[in-house]
């Protein structure tokens, strides 16, 4: 009877990280249990060469305040850090306290424009560095601005007013816009701090960002009283903001996306608080029918399920559910640097300051696909999904997303409300941008999500080999004639061969929290073909190619103690079509079975299987491997010649009876 093995417990508490100045956990060390924005006083050294993490993941940064190139470490032992070895004047260490239990993520394939409505370039010699569209029309800022009110940086169009920011940060508003004066009546200078970005909605509500990234709301501003009464500072920091029917949205200097609660529908209010939205972008726009964002690589994304459908809100605050990338053909892709859209038309400025528009943008969007993932997925071939995803929405736990299948390429680490990646992308950074493609995905290991991994070492020197044989076909036929006869058997013989491998650990394995090795994957150290005897029937044989090919595959435990795999193959053997003259002919087909037993030691660790060497706590268990090779099939042909009964003449070479 199997007994439960003892101690496979998890780390108590929230965990810690231990830093070492040398590889293989040598040299000076420092144990950190809480996030630290500046570790210079605690760590006077200029390098980190190895790390031990217990519990939830940690992120090390080259600079204070969680800035600079990040290095992500899950629970485990890192003997050698291959990157981010040298700190600058000081660094920082941040522990991620997210609950990693019950991981779930949704991955989304890109949408694309079907091409029914093409991009149209505005054929005008005047180039624009900014374009804005609203009920008051389409306005732009010339690339080389020499307008009456000076050089402008940015502009925003509403219904009865147009707001803009000059190069010196002064805010101007074009007021008096109406049916009888579509270009407005005058420019008005708006009081307040120097601004760098302003946004006005179709209802005339105005938000702005000053040069220190502070957020401002214009009190009393609406279509009836365009200028309002004054500015009100709103908590938070952003570098760009947009207000529209879909609410107030913004992007900060870290490219994080924020949504202002209770602003959907464009009410005359400054909202009630900020909600962090997944994704990282350089620019975002809140329009009448949706929210579109521009990534650092100039790809466009739209926010799915913003607002209401059939009179019902899709989410608690109408913030939407996830981002969908809008794919463009590589050959005809236009690199945009700024855009806005009206009810169903998109206006944009490319990198050369040319203006484009696309009509019926939402009608032209093709559907995309989604898949929910709950565990390690080296690729998505088993799902009705694209080869690669482009965006993701974390429901629970933490996730590592790879740019290529089989956990290769650059990595981004996503959590329900945060991400650790490289935004904007950098050639020297080993992480990937949030908006890169997703070729494989896996849950992040930590305090509430600890999975066993194992490696089995077979002791081939102690192997035991036995053999047996089974006659699959045997038939004798006698041919007394002097000619060949047709064989009485069919010219072919069908049979099924197989190879079987079974690994069994002696004791059941448990982790704290109930995790077991059922489903645990492993590979083994293969060996040269194993020789076995078949008696006097022929020379010794060796385990076959199928046997060793199967032994090279990945094995999975089907329960708490056993992993079994079997591969079968249909073979067709050809038998002789003729029986030789004057003989008793025997055709026989024999299967020679080889049974191999090898003791092994299973080495267990906690972590992610492809990174076995970096695993956390470890232990060992003994077990037995049994392999059965039923792929050696031989044809045995025997021909027993009959005695020659024909009379031989004695008259040979002229000799007579005296011979």
- Domain positions in the chain are 15-95, 104-109+370-443, 117-359, 452-641
Mean predicted confidence (pLDDT) in 221-248: 96
pLDDT band for position 152 (cuts 50, 70, 90): confident
Residue 512 has what pLDDT?
Answer: 62
CA angle 177, 183, 187 (to 5 degrees): 75
- The second-level CATH assignment, the architecture, of 452-641 is Beta Complex (2.170)
Rounded Cα gap, residues 645 and 482, in angstroms: 12
User: Tokens representing 301?
Assistant: 């994304």
Residue 631 has what pLDDT?
Answer: 95
Summarize pLDDT for 484-497 with one digit per residue, the tens.
Answer: 999 999 999 999 99
Summarize pLDDT for 286-335 with one digit per residue, the tens.
Answer: 988 889 999 888 888 999 889 888 778 888 899 998 898 888 777 778 89
Nearest to 419 by CA among 250, 277, 306: 277
Asked whether residue 83 carries a pLDDT value surpassing 60, the answer given is no
Query: Is-same-fold flag (117-359; 452-641)?
Result: no
pLDDT band for position 150 (cuts 50, 70, 90): low
In terms of average pLDDT, the best of 137-146, 260-269, 381-390, 504-513 is 260-269
Summarize pLDDT for 429-478 with one digit per residue, the tens.
Answer: 556 666 678 999 999 998 889 888 899 999 999 999 999 999 999 999 99
Nearest to 628 by CA among 449, 477, 465, 441: 465
Rounded Cα gap, residues 27 and 50, in angstroms: 10
Rounded Cα gap, residues 204 and 136, in angstroms: 11
Among 113-117, 239-243, 605-609, which stretch is predicted with the lowest mean pLDDT?
113-117
Residue 66 has what pLDDT?
Answer: 85
Residue 10 has what pLDDT?
Answer: 46
Burial (CB count <10 Å: 0-12, 13-18, 19+), residue 229: exposed
Tell how many helices (H) and how many strands (E) occur in the chain: 1, 51
Summarize pLDDT for 9-33 with one digit per residue, the tens.
Answer: 444 456 899 999 899 999 999 999 9
Phi and psi at residue 356, to the nearest 5°: -125, 155
Q: Give the class (CATH, top level) of 15-95.
A: mainly beta
Phi and psi at residue 631, to the nearest 5°: -110, -5
List of residues 6+ apart from 136 with CB closer than 8 A: 157, 158, 159, 160, 161, 162, 177, 182, 184
- Look up the pTM and report it: 0.74
Q: In what order do the strands lie in the sheet with 345-350?
A: 120-121, 355-359, 345-350, 336-341
Residue 145 has what pLDDT?
Answer: 64
Cβ atoms of 411 and 400 within 8 Å: the answer is yes
Residue 652 has what pLDDT?
Answer: 37
CATH of 104-109+370-443, one of 2.60.20.10, 1.10.10.350, 3.40.50.720, 3.40.640.10: 2.60.20.10
User: Tokens representing 231?
Assistant: 């500015």
Residue 597: CB atoms within 10 Å = 13
Q: What percent of the chain has pLDDT over 70?
A: 90
Residue 294 has what pLDDT?
Answer: 92
pLDDT band for position 569 (cuts 50, 70, 90): very high
Among 113-117, 424-428, 524-528, which stretch is predicted with the lowest mean pLDDT?
424-428
Residues β-bridged to residue 414:
399, 419
Q: How far is CA 487 from CA 48, 528, 586, 590, in A?
A: 78, 40, 11, 19
Residue 591: CB atoms within 10 Å = 16
The residue with greater pLDDT, 373 or 308, is: 373
Q: Which fold has domain 117-359?
A: Methylamine Dehydrogenase; Chain H (2.130.10)
Residues β-bridged to residue 29:
20
Residue 657 has what pLDDT?
Answer: 45
Mean predicted confidence (pLDDT) in 634-643: 88
Rounded Cα gap, residues 74 and 446, in angstroms: 7
Rounded Cα gap, residues 641 and 182, in angstroms: 114
Asked whether residue 428 carries a pLDDT value surpassing 70, the answer given is no
Query: What is the chain's mean pLDDT, rounded?
Result: 87
Using the structure block, give the residue that is written with the tokens 């049974």.
595
Question: For residues 142-171, b (16+ Cβ closer than 10 Å) or e, as one string?
Answer: eeebeeeeeebbbbbbbbbbbbbbbeeebb
């Amino acid at each position: 009877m199997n007994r439960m093995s003892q101690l496979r417990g998890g780390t108590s508490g929230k965990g810690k990280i231990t830093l070492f100045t040398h590889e293989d956990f040598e040299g000076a060390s420092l144990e950190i249990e809480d996030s630290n924005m500046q570790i210079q006083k605690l760590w006077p050294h200029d390098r980190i060469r190895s790390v031990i993490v217990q519990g939830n993941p940690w992120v090390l940064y080259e600079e204070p305040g969680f800035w600079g190139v990040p290095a992500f470490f899950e629970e485990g032992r890192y003997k050698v850090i291959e990157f981010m070895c040298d700190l600058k004047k000081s660094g920082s260490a941040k522990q991620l306290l997210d609950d990693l239990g019950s991981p779930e993520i949704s991955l989304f394939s890109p949408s694309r424009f079907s091409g029914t409505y093409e991009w149209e370039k505005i054929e005008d010699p005047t180039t624009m560095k900014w374009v804005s569209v609203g009920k008051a029309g389409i306005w732009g800022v010339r690339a080389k601005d020499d307008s009456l009110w000076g050089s402008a940086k940015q502009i925003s169009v509403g219904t009865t007013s147009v707001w803009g920011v000059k190069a010196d940060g002064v805010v101007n508003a074009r007021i008096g816009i109406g049916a009888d004066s579509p270009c407005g009546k005058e420019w008005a200078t708006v009081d307040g701090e120097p601004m760098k970005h302003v946004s006005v909605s179709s209802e005339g509500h105005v938000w702005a960002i000053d040069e220190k990234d502070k957020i401002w709301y214009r009190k009393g501003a609406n279509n009836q009283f365009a200028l309002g009464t004054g500015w009100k500072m709103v908590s938070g920091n952003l570098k760009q903001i947009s207000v529209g029917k879909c609410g107030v949205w913004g992007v900060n200097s870290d490219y994080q996306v924020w949504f202002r609660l209770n602003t959907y529908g464009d009410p005359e209010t400054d909202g009630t608080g900020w909600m962090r939205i997944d994704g990282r972008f350089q620019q975002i726009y809140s329009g009448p029918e949706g929210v579109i964002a521009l990534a650092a690589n100039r790809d466009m994304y739209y926010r799915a399920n913003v607002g209401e459908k059939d009179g019902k809100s899709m989410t608690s605050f109408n913030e939407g559910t996830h981002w969908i990338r809008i794919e463009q053909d590589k050959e005809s892709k236009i690199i945009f640097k700024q855009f806005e859209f009206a009810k169903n038309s998109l206006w944009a400025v490319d990198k050369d300051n040319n203006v484009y528009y696309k009509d019926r943008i939402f009608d032209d969007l093709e559907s995309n696909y989604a898949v929910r993932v709950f565990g390690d997925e080296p690729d998505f071939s088993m799902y009705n999904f694209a080869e690669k995803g482009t965006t993701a929405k974390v429901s629970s736990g933490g996730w590592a997303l790879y740019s290529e299948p089989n956990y290769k390429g650059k990595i981004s680490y996503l959590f329900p409300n945060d991400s650790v990646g490289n935004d904007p992308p950098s050639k020297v950074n080993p992480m990937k941008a949030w908006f890169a493609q997703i070729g494989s995905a896996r849950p992040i290991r930590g305090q509430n999500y600890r999975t066993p991994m194992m490696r089995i070492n077979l002791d081939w020197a102690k192997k035991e080999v036995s053999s047996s044989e089974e006659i699959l076909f045997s038939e004798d036929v006698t041919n007394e004639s002097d000619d060949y006869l047709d064989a009485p058997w069919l010219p072919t013989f069908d049979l099924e061969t197989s190879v079987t491998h079974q690994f069994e650990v002696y004791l059941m394995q448990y982790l704290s929290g109930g995790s077991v090795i059922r489903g645990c994957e492993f590979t083994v150290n293969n060996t040269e073909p194993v020789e076995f005897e078949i008696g006097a029937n022929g020379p010794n044989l060796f385990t076959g190619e199928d046997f060793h090919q199967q032994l090279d595959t990945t094995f999975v435990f089907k329960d708490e103690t056993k992993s079994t795999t079997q591969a079968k193959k249909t073979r067709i053997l050809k038998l002789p079509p003729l029986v030789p003259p004057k003989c008793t002919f025997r055709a026989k087909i024999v299967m020679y079975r080889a049974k191999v037993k090898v003791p092994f030691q299973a080495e267990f660790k906690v972590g992610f299987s492809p990174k076995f060497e970096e695993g956390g706590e470890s232990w060992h268990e003994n077990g037995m491997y049994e392999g059965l090779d039923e792929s050696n099939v031989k044809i045995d042909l025997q021909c027993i010649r009959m005695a020659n009964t024909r009379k031989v003449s004695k008259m040979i070479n002229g000799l007579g009876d005296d011979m």
